[in-house]
Amino acid sequence: MPAGTLYRGREGMWSWVAHRVTGVLIFFFLFVHVLDTALVRVSPEAYDTVVATYKTPIVACLEYGLVAAILFHALNGLRVIAVDFWAKGARYQKPMLWTVVVVWIVLMLGAIYPVLGHAARVVFGS
């Protein structure tokens, strides 16, 4: 495969950028998650306060963003594996990218109620 084949074209460049950005965002989430979990050993009261803030509608929106980042990163990672290890992968990378995008959108639409349902009830009432 010639150099640059994987990310040829505008779509490939943006999928490369999105893959890196989502990877960094997931890393920072994991870092913060380890820190806030460790807080329980330092100060259980502070831990309870932090956990209480996680039940706010704003954090629910951030959780939806986290789901979006993890899901895109996972689906695009599978696409990258297919491009790398399937003999015809480079030929079908653009259709696979659009398949990833469509599957991601469908799954994200399905995640709206489970992730944001409680926040919507808090903001708009039961």
The average pLDDT across 4-11 equals 58
DSSP conformation letters of 80-101: HHHHHHSTTTTTTHHHHHHHHH
Give the residue-averaged pLDDT of 26-50.
Answer: 93
Kindly report the backbone phi and psi dihedral angles of residue 55, in degrees, each rounded to the nearest multiple of 5, phi listed first: -95, 10
**pLDDT for position 6:** 52
Widest pairwise Cα distance in the chain = 57
Residue pLDDT, tens place only, 53-63:
998 999 999 99
pLDDT in tens, 44-97: 999 999 999 998 999 999 999 999 999 999 999 999 999 999 998 888 889 999
pTM, 2 dp? 0.84
In the numeric block, which tokens belong to residue 80? 């990258």
